Amino acid sequence: MKPNVEKDLRAFCFSCMATIGDLEQLEKVNNYKIIEKIDSTNSKTTDSFEEKVYREAKQMSDYYMLFYCLERSARDIVVGKLKAIHCGGWWATKVPQQIRESVAKNIQNEIDAGVTQRSENEIDYTTFGELGEIVKSNWADFGDIFKSVKAFSKIMTSLNILRGPIAHCSILSEDEILRLELTVKDWMRIQSN
């Protein structure tokens, strides 16, 4: 590289870094997102995709994370409550047979596919809707956690519908984002303290 070109390139790079620093400072002061950094750890795998698809994925990742936390906490509630009341045999005695059969089929499908099993716990093979059915079929055990079976059913139905676009890689509209946020607040609200 010629000396002047190298000098100009370095000056340009330092100028860009200074500009990014200034923009980051403006973001902090104004609490407004101006720039978005692309996570370099994913760049090798995501470089193959269109920028539009990558940005949509980044946008939807927050809602995926929200649902991940919600579903994991719902599973923890179910396991914690049924295990505390019915001890180790709760899966065989308190989970509806149809759900147990569905879970057994899902486990066998993973075994047959030769992939790493997602979990050793059957509860991790249930769908969000099946978790709701487990709670409703054991309402006497969960009545002290959730205030109303009707409210619980309504919220679980709404969450299950909202989960579809997230789980199947579609963009949520602004209305559905708002609906999701409100439904999660409802989920927290129906739980007794």
Q: Residue 12 has which token pair? A: 């340009």
**One domain for residues 88 and 173:** yes
**One domain for residues 81 and 135:** yes
Judged against a pLDDT cut of 80, whether residue 26 lies above it is answered with: no
Judged against a pLDDT cut of 90, whether residue 126 lies above it is answered with: yes
The answer to whether residue 44 is domain-embedded is no
- Tally of domains within the chain: 2
**One domain for residues 4 and 96:** no
Q: Map residue 191 onto helix, strand or coil.
A: strand
Judged against a pLDDT cut of 90, whether residue 135 lies above it is answered with: yes
**One domain for residues 87 and 174:** yes
The answer to whether residue 11 is domain-embedded is yes
In this predicted structure, what is the pLDDT of residue 140? 93
Mean pLDDT across 156-173: 87
Give the integer Cα–Cα distance in Å for 134 and 160: 14
Q: Residue 137 has which token pair? A: 């079929």
- Residue 146 β-bridge partners: 191
- What is residue 95's DSSP assignment? S
The answer to whether residue 74 is domain-embedded is yes
Domain that holds residue 130: 50-190
Question: Is the pTM of the predicted complex or chain greater than 0.75?
Answer: no
Mean pLDDT across 50-55: 79
Mean pLDDT across 41-46: 59
The answer to whether residue 86 is domain-embedded is yes
- Residue 191 β-bridge partners: 146
The answer to whether residue 45 is domain-embedded is no
**One domain for residues 113 and 27:** no
**One domain for residues 30 and 112:** no
Query: Which amino acid is present at 14?
Result: F
**One domain for residues 14 and 81:** no
- Entry field: residues in the chain: 193
**One domain for residues 28 and 114:** no
**One domain for residues 153 and 105:** yes
The answer to whether residue 41 is domain-embedded is no
The answer to whether residue 91 is domain-embedded is yes
Long-range contacts of 182-188 (CB under 8 A, 24+ apart): 183/155, 183/158, 183/159, 184/66, 184/70, 184/159, 186/151, 186/155, 186/158, 187/70, 187/155, 187/159
**One domain for residues 100 and 186:** yes
In this predicted structure, what is the pLDDT of residue 40? 46
